Homo-oligomer: A and B are copies of this chain.
């Protein structure tokens, strides 16, 4: 929403300044749409891409309806360490689940979660986590689920900064989203996270409406409550695993156009970036490298940083990025500020 309110004045200002100082380099600097980005290759790539695709008469001009930009969320738009916010939500929901179904108290992995043993919880396998996700993300109506997530988001705090997760979005990425929208791009989130989960806060947090969130999605079943009112109940049936190849498949399913720009940070984004990078005209595929242990975290074996379960920037991904000419953004070098609250 912010972009809509601030863009016209910014646009008018740059026109007026441009007219007054037609030959001055100051004009652009005064209306820098990406103030939290340091000058350099990444920022130049973004600004050059936007100019080439939005300037009438440019050989790489893209008509406004075709301006689609897709963004991974975890590790690209906000912090994903030490664990995805949605997994924290699901772990927090286990006690209520066990109260409702006491027979789960002695069943793994619920037993381990209920023990409160942090070391044991951190060691749960991916399969165990999927069991917890399946059990805590289904069985309620879509309206009940959205209300529960909103309640949780209002009080949950990140373990390091002690702030709501929605404050841990990266300021340079918020600027990029607004800059693209001000230039006619429709911005989408394409996340391995749960579509229903992210849709509850996407509009307030990123200015991205629910219908522009593509994510891992389970089925729902249409029915009626006791009073005959129609309801949709969330089922533990997976419709779209929006990771890896699932990202371009999900983009085709939910959007039906190939994006012009895509931004990710991990091996799960490889196929989205490949798919976006294919085709005629200007294409921009970008990867965020987490190399800033002081201001955020440093991880990614491709750059000699620690490997982690979450958000691996693998050696294989790095060689694909080089071969296909993707732009790697260094958090340490390319970002002047990381968070709005700094």
Contacts and interface: CB of A to CB of B under 8 A. Distances in A.
A24 B245 CA distance: 61
A231 to B, nearest CB: 9
Given A213-B256, A254-B254, A256-B210, A249 B230 contact: no
Given A232-B248, A232-B275, A239-B253, 14 more contacts: A65-B203, A68-B211, A142-B252, A186-B211, A195-B253, A210-B255, A210-B256, A211-B254, A213-B256, A220-B252, A229-B278, A230-B248, A230-B278, A239-B240
A218 to B, nearest CB: 9
A253 B210 contact: no
Contacts of A232: 248-249, 252, 275
A240 B199 CA distance: 20
Interface string A189-211: 00000011001000100000111
Contact of A211 (B210, B213, B256): B256
6 contacts: A65-B203, A68-B211, A142-B252, A199-B256, A210-B255, A213-B256
Query: Of A219, A249, A271, which is in contact with the most chain B CB atoms at under 10 Å from its CB?
Result: A249
Contacts of A213: 256
A274 B223 CA distance: 11
A222 interface: yes
Interface string A138-155: 000010000000000000
Contacts of A255: 210-211
Interface in A272-297: 274-275, 278
Q: Quick one: copies of this chain in the complex?
A: 2
Interface string A248-266: 1100111111000000000
Given A222-B248, A239-B253, A271 B230 contact: yes
A221 interface: yes
Nearest to A251: B232
B220 A249 contact: yes
Contacts of A239: 239-240, 253
B217 A253 contact: yes
A275 B211 contact: no
A204 to B, nearest CB: 11
Nearest to A275: B230
A203 B210 CA distance: 21
Nearest to A210: B256
A203 B256 CA distance: 12
Contacts of A196: 256
Nearest to A223: B245
Nearest to A186: B211
Contact of A245 (B211, B222, B274): B222
Interface string A278-320: 1000000000000000000000000000000000000000000
Contacts of A186: 211
Nearest to A142: B252
